[in-house]
Amino acid sequence: MDGHIGLKKIGSHASISEIDDFDLSRLLDKPRLNIERQRSFDERSLSELSIGLARGGMDNYDTYSPGVRSGFDTPASSTRNSFEPHPMVADAWESLRRSLVHFRGQPVGTIAAVDHQAEEVLNYDQVFVRDFVPSALAFLMNGEPDIVKNFLLKTLHLQGWEKRVDRFKLGEGVMPASFKVLHDPVRKTDTLIADFGESAIGRVAPVDSGFWWIILLRAYTKSTGDLSLAESPDCQKGMKLILTLCLSEGFDTFPTLLCADGCCMIDRRMGIYGYPIEIQALFFMALRCALSMLKQDDAEGKECVERIVKRLHALSYHMRSYFWLDFQQLNDIYRYKTEEYSHTAVNKFNVIPDSIPEWVFDFMPTRGGYFIGNVSPARMDFRWFALGNCVAILSSLATPEQSMAIMDLIEARWDELVGEMPLKISYPAIESHEWRIVTGCDPKNTRWSYHNGGSWPVLLWLVTAACIKTGRPQIARRAIELAESRLLKDGWPEYYDGKLGRYIGKQARKYQTWSIAGYLVAKMMLEDPSHLGMISLEEDKQMKPVIKRSSSWTC
């Protein structure tokens, strides 16, 4: 069985789509989702796609052709197809390559930002794990996997370091938030310096880094068709160490992960402590990615897979039942009874209806819905968070119906969530007294700025992937056109401010690498939707709960 339950024996260059066909009754099942209902995607591109979308379901995106480069005119690819590259694509590739960091002659990642004019590195002179993901996807789509492989191996090496914050030792599986390469021109040596949270604002360890590493490892394997890296003893151990941190038993009564504020992309105090949607969606996706790559040739591997399967069942049910909000569910919560006791309680978290913010009643369309920001005892954070909802679609944490509802919400609330620059990282902004209490008067997270309702171009790749998966590429095209009207002219800012995202962020770095890479990935996916297979997982029927809209109101 070559260490995999239910797997055919496959060579080192077989498509990883074969090992994604798990069944969660026998690991993972792979239903077909028909996207023929949305044929608005450019017919000229569909007719030329080698994946043959006309044959049917979403799972066709899973057939990724290793080594096939994008049609963009880049240094590594000169073939052109029906998509004429936008003039800013060449500038984007030039800037992305300028951001590459080398360790002992090998590219190992991209720094967060670089001054395009002066060739001078700005404050963001480190390789951040989460920031590198869109850059990695761009290189994979362009047929340059070695950069990504080097990054995966280098961060895996850093995972093995002893990690301390003051006198406290962090868990063995923690991945770094970032690392930098120090070049000594005299001794001609390179030295790595990693940050596991001890240098970060607030001294918070990055919970998301390990999840992104696992997701990127699967993307690399899907892109190249080479299983040897994922199946290497070091990568197998690395995945298990990450998962051991997350699957350990404790006092929690929920399958979600309890986290501190500032542990993910929102890395400053923003009231996301508890069970933030971004972490739960990434956790779910990382579990499913690891499930497709972990070997079971010993008792430890089999036990790890069994724990993953159990957690996936519990996590999917919990998220789909308690984090999901649509018009009907909002109305139900509005009419909740409180102080219910025993296992028959419907208002399981004892949420007080008067705590529902006024804005959400107008924000919620009749058609549409989303996963709210946080759910914990007597607390529901009704804010919209873009990354968590997009990852929920890509990982199939969201059911097909929920995925379509999220896209319906984006269309219905375009001005609020997209505006003049995609995409709002969160909505709405918190302000006045609430801002002082929640952020601690953070001068960077003022209303409609940075993490507090700011607009982040890097999210373009995530919303594009979600649009393609749900058969709504016209939404992605509209968002990309908005970005193209400003990004290059404005110098590729990190984020934009204002309700509509009209103004360059007050502290936004220029030539932000993941703004550049996010645009390139979005363009390449729209050009060739088969790229989606790297970063998308199909729905599992076995995990789909039957959710009944129970009533808990005063008659």
Q: State the pLDDT at residue 540.
A: 78
Q: State the pLDDT at residue 407.
A: 98
Residues near 256 by beta carbon (within 8 Å), at least 6 away in sequence: 275, 280, 283, 315, 318, 319, 375
User: Taking the model in full, what pTM does it have?
Assistant: 0.85
Residues near 316 by beta carbon (within 8 Å), at least 6 away in sequence: 284, 397, 540, 543, 544, 545
366 C-beta neighbours (distance < 10 Å), count: 9
Could you give the count of Cα atoms lying within 13 Å of 364 in the half-sphere of its Cβ? 21
Amino acid at site 403: S
Local structure of residue 319 (DSSP, 8 states): I
Q: State the pLDDT at residue 481.
A: 97
Measured CA to CA in angstroms, residue 303 lies from 21, 230, 291 at distances of 20, 18, 12
Count how many domains the chain has: 1
Instruction: Let me know if residue 501 belongs to a domain.
Output: yes
Torsion of Cα atoms, 243 then 245 then 246 then 252, to 10°:
150
Distance CA 207, CA 284 (A): 13
7 C-beta neighbours (distance < 10 Å), count: 17
Q: State the pLDDT at residue 119.
A: 42
Q: Report the CATH number that the domain containing residue 478 is assigned in CATH.
A: 1.50.10.10
Distance CA 231, CA 36 (A): 36
Local structure of residue 352 (DSSP, 8 states): -
Instruction: Let me know if residue 553 belongs to a domain.
Output: no
Q: State the pLDDT at residue 114.
A: 79
Instruction: Let me know if residue 42 belongs to a domain.
Output: no
Which residues are registered as beta bridge partners of 276?
none
Contact 363, 413 (CB under 8 A): yes
Chain mean position to CA 532: 13
Q: State the pLDDT at residue 162.
A: 84
Instruction: Let me know if residue 52 belongs to a domain.
Output: no
Angle between helices 145-159 and 233-247 (to 10 degrees): 60
Contact 271, 439 (CB under 8 A): yes
Q: State the pLDDT at residue 544.
A: 57
User: Which letter, b or e, does each residue of 39-55 get, where b requires 16 or more Cβ atoms within 10 Å of its Cβ?
Assistant: eebeeebbeebebebee
**Per-residue pLDDT tens over the stretch 155-176:** 999 998 888 888 888 889 999 9
Q: State the pLDDT at residue 50.
A: 33
Angle between helices 460-469 and 386-395 (to 10 degrees): 40
Backbone angles phi, psi at 226, to 5 degrees: -100, 115
Instruction: Let me know if residue 82 belongs to a domain.
Output: no
Q: What is the pLDDT along the chain (555 residues), one digit of tens a residue?
A: 444 433 333 343 444 444 454 444 444 443 433 333 333 333 333 333 333 333 333 344 444 444 444 444 444 443 334 456 788 999 999 999 999 999 999 999 999 997 644 444 444 689 999 999 999 999 999 999 999 999 999 999 999 888 888 888 888 999 999 999 999 999 999 999 999 988 877 789 999 999 999 999 999 999 999 999 999 999 999 999 999 999 988 898 999 999 999 999 999 999 999 999 999 999 999 999 999 999 999 999 999 999 999 999 999 999 999 999 999 999 999 999 998 888 888 899 999 999 999 999 999 999 999 999 999 999 999 999 999 999 999 999 999 999 999 999 999 999 999 999 999 999 999 999 999 999 999 999 999 999 999 999 999 999 999 999 999 999 999 999 999 999 999 999 999 999 999 999 999 999 999 999 999 999 999 999 999 999 999 987 766 554 444 333 333
Chain mean position to CA 348: 29
Instruction: Let me know if residue 93 belongs to a domain.
Output: yes
Measured CA to CA in angstroms, residue 261 lies from 72, 194, 266, 382 at distances of 40, 21, 8, 17
Distance CA 507, CA 5 (A): 51
Instruction: Let me know if residue 36 belongs to a domain.
Output: no
Residues near 37 by beta carbon (within 8 Å), at least 6 away in sequence: 471
Q: State the pLDDT at residue 38.
A: 39
Instruction: Let me know if residue 540 belongs to a domain.
Output: no
Domain that holds residue 234: 87-534
Contact 461, 137 (CB under 8 A): yes
Q: State the pLDDT at residue 30.
A: 37
Contact 552, 347 (CB under 8 A): yes
Would you state the structure tokens that stand for residue 420, as one six-digit string? 């003049």
